[in-house]
Chain A
């Protein structure tokens, strides 16, 4: 007979081990936060998702943007107040009278993290890299405002020296623009304008190939206030203060640990257990509890984005502006904001967010009575004779709740029957892009604080204009805006454009976004910023841990 299986002693020893672990919970209560000496200032930040990469010329997301702002610095930087511009690598700049030539004077003290000086030639080589066609950068179009950039990126111009980028000497960078770009300084804060260190990149492969190992911890050379010291995929990214940063003396934090926490319930629990000082967001159903019990931990800041519903103008009855306007007027936005979203979002009665020096033009007014009248005028009194409409949204509880509310409001207010259709993210993007919908959820977040980017969405044939809206007058007016020397005249044009959208209703604005964070009272200088950029060099941490401050909220 074969040996009997000694199965029972083994499991019991496991059990004993499991019990032992349960009974000796001594090690590490609050994760990394307490792992080193109390004198060091270590900020633990929830940062949404795992970054794609840390190459500023490759990435496209907000997650990466937050990280890259710690590791790199562009010509200009964040202002400590959260609004406006502060000098970055460039200590000063001037513009020609026709607004087409910008000259940046780089500071002599600017250094890469390996000690090399940051020069104008670094910028030129970086811009050549991001615009090289085979490099296939998704955000290369951000640089199209410079002469020849678009042609070079599309391969029709092959000599980079013929583009509008030039270095007069080591510390003077000149950009010749295609047209005046009044918001250029704001646009320069985008990562696609950041310099990269070509000699480092070349060590790890051809510079025009993505995805070499140069962005890994130990390899990456940046010019920002912090340097990358550790990258554990899906766990944490650690950056430490850079000794070579030109303004190193002003940097407050020693270390920032970015935690890629995708699940906001997990993130909220980590915050409560003291593992995080700042969260990326907060579960909607917890907002009320925090507002009631710990309002000092809750931060609700305006965020430069609009949540709206696209209407498919190529499909009847949505080709009739009266129907579109009726649908837009029949919504109780206050109710949606108050009962579903709960973070104090602004109800939107026009498309372009009223921030960044912009005040709105005509708003949607008239309410339900006007909506009913318009619908009857269009031939659908009480919704009779109108076909069933379908709302498309990408799968998410939050979008579903809003869609259900809209469905109910159109049904009871207008007598219009509405079906809901949810699709997984990329399928939804495909349907939206191909106009395979009636009504479709959408959102637009500005890359820089200026109305121009918002109004560009509805250009005829624009890649993001997924409505079929085509208005040559609109296109002409938008193009004329950039040439205006005077800021108030330009804003006036934007007001006219926004009013056109309010009247033509290719989309139904619902609300302007809010950014919601949980933030420990220890964190100092965390200022609101409408595009949610972070000047990490200014942020400070109170070294005293107020014990029990974040705890006891089970």
Chain B
């Protein structure tokens, strides 16, 4: 298993290198740059700006410097959360831990990309975990229920709910929840990210979409498993229905959900532009999108690399979990 993980980790190096290089060059090919502004700046000022950010150097030199900056130069994950003297938010220091320097932000000159990620990622992570909790808490029982009561009213209700959850986009669901729970009932703030209660509506909005997927995948997976011989054997031996579901069927039935969860978690914890905008959450999802509009070269590269790294890591985790859950698979 260790060999399997090591080999997969080695394989990620060229993947990340290609992503980093493609991002670097694509950004520079797009029309407009970080200093393109509505009010024109003079040639001299533009030259000063480019010199300030090292954009006056030839492209190969910039590329080489960039690759060196993002290359991990040490391995000290224990220092990732070491710097806790800053009071404003939990910190997360890529530079201290791995020597990765994502550079200064072009748009926000007094912050580095490392800092922006450290500031924003924990909020996205928190939102993501709550949303995931909602998704699993609602989706799995609903899916199991639908599978066990296949082709009954309960199944149709659950499946319809899931379909609606998938179809209603978050930018509709979010404002609807705000209108009802915040502006009509006055239970919550319309937006903001200050109190525990501020987590409820965004987590529900984001979680409902994923709950719908989880429900459908659970139902499909369970249906497949429930027809298997070993379930019939368990029934023949007189096991209770609860025991069959919890002990025998769920394990196999959840495989499709696990496969789905890998990339889904990467997406969910690296932030959601729509949810963060609707609810004024200081997460990474907004940086992801607005940095591209701002041509904030370093911030785009940094968020893309982080997202790519997360996807690679979570896919690996999914593979490991799948082998563990499914006795028919082996590490190869």
Which residues in A have some Cβ–Cβ distance to B below 8 Å? 2, 4-5, 7-8, 10-12, 14-15, 17-18, 21-22, 25-32, 50, 52-55, 58, 60, 133-138, 140-141, 153-155, 210-216, 231-235, 259, 261-263, 265-266, 269-270, 272-273, 275, 424-427, 429-431, 433, 443, 462-464, 551, 553-554
Contacts and interface: CB of A to CB of B under 8 A. Distances in A.
A426 B295 contact: yes
A156 B318 CA distance: 62
Contacts of A4: 246-247, 251
A259 to B, nearest CB: 7
Nearest to A428: B32
B41 A431 contact: no
B109 A265 contact: no
A443 B254 CA distance: 56
Given A53-B110, A263-B277, A25 B197 contact: yes
B293 A426 contact: yes
B293 A425 contact: yes
Q: Which of B30, B45, B108 gathers most chain A CB within 10 Å? A: B45
Given A262-B277, A426-B33, A15 B138 contact: yes
Contacts of A58: 109
Contacts of B134: 14, 18
B250 A8 contact: yes
A27 B109 contact: no
Interface in B162-197: 175, 178-179, 181-184, 186-197
B189 A28 contact: yes
Q: Which 9 A-B pairs have the closest CB atoms?
A: A426-B32, A463-B40, A211-B109, A25-B187, A234-B282, A136-B48, A273-B190, A430-B31, A14-B137
Given A235-B282, A266-B191, A7 B45 contact: no
Interface size class of B (residues with CB under 8 A): 35 or more
A235 B293 contact: no
A10 B281 CA distance: 27
Given A4-B247, A233-B119, A554 B137 contact: no
A7 B41 CA distance: 60
A98 B324 CA distance: 87
B190 A272 contact: yes
B88 interface: yes
A426 B36 contact: yes
A427 B278 contact: no
B42 A11 contact: no
A242 B93 CA distance: 34
B109 A21 contact: no
A262 B280 CA distance: 9
B225 to A, nearest CB: 13
Given A141-B41, A234-B281, A551-B183, 14 more contacts: A2-B324, A5-B251, A7-B246, A11-B133, A25-B197, A28-B197, A29-B189, A52-B107, A135-B52, A138-B45, A153-B45, A262-B286, A266-B278, A431-B31
A174 B217 CA distance: 75
Interface string B283-315: 100100000010100000000000000000000
Contact of B48 (A7, A29, A134): A134
B325 to A, nearest CB: 7
Given A14-B133, A53-B110, A141 B42 contact: yes
A212 B199 CA distance: 33
A269 B39 contact: no
B277 A28 contact: no
Contact of A275 (B33, B133, B190, B325): B190
B136 interface: yes
B200 interface: yes
Interface in B186-218: 186-200, 203-204
B59 interface: no
Contact of B186 (A12, A138, A234, A551): A551
B133 A18 contact: yes
28 contacts: A5-B251, A5-B325, A8-B140, A11-B133, A15-B137, A22-B200, A25-B187, A28-B197, A52-B109, A55-B110, A58-B109, A211-B111, A213-B110, A214-B110, A216-B110, A233-B108, A233-B111, A233-B282, A234-B280, A235-B192, A269-B183, A270-B192, A273-B186, A426-B36, A426-B295, A427-B31, A464-B39, A554-B183
Contact of A266 (B39, B279, B295): B279
B119 to A, nearest CB: 6
A21 B196 contact: yes
B133 to A, nearest CB: 4
B221 interface: no
B188 to A, nearest CB: 6
B42 A7 contact: no
A262 B191 CA distance: 12
A55 B109 CA distance: 10
B39 to A, nearest CB: 6
A488 B302 CA distance: 56
Contacts of B187: 25
B282 to A, nearest CB: 4
Contact of B189 (A30, A53, A137, A464): A30
Contact of A235 (B35, B36, B193, B196): B193
Given A233-B111, A263-B278, A426-B293, A275 B191 contact: yes
Contacts of A11: 133, 136-137, 140-141
B189 A261 contact: no
A432 to B, nearest CB: 9
A134 B138 contact: no
A7 B110 contact: no
Nearest to A423: B31
A392 B105 CA distance: 30
Nearest to A11: B137
B191 A138 contact: no
B171 to A, nearest CB: 9
B116 interface: yes
A270 B277 CA distance: 12
Interface string B28-72: 001111011111111011001101100000000000000000000
A31 B189 contact: yes
A289 B17 CA distance: 53
B120 interface: yes
Contacts of A272: 183, 190
A269 B110 contact: no
B104 interface: yes
Contacts of B178: 269
Given A4-B251, A212-B110, A269 B175 contact: yes
A199 to B, nearest CB: 18
Contacts of B116: 233
A136 B191 contact: no
Contact of A269 (B30, B190, B247): B190
Nearest to B40: A463
A140 B47 CA distance: 13
A213 B112 CA distance: 11
Contacts of B278: 263, 265-266
Q: Which of B48, B104, B119 gathers most chain A CB within 10 Å? A: B48
A461 B46 CA distance: 17
Contacts of B282: 232-235
B38 A270 contact: no
A532 B40 CA distance: 22
Contacts of A17: 133
A231 B119 CA distance: 12
Contact of A433 (B40, B109, B137): B40
A197 to B, nearest CB: 15
Contacts of A135: 48, 52
Nearest to B119: A233
B38 A429 contact: yes
B226 to A, nearest CB: 16
Nearest to A133: B48
B249 to A, nearest CB: 11
B280 A424 contact: no
A7 B189 CA distance: 33
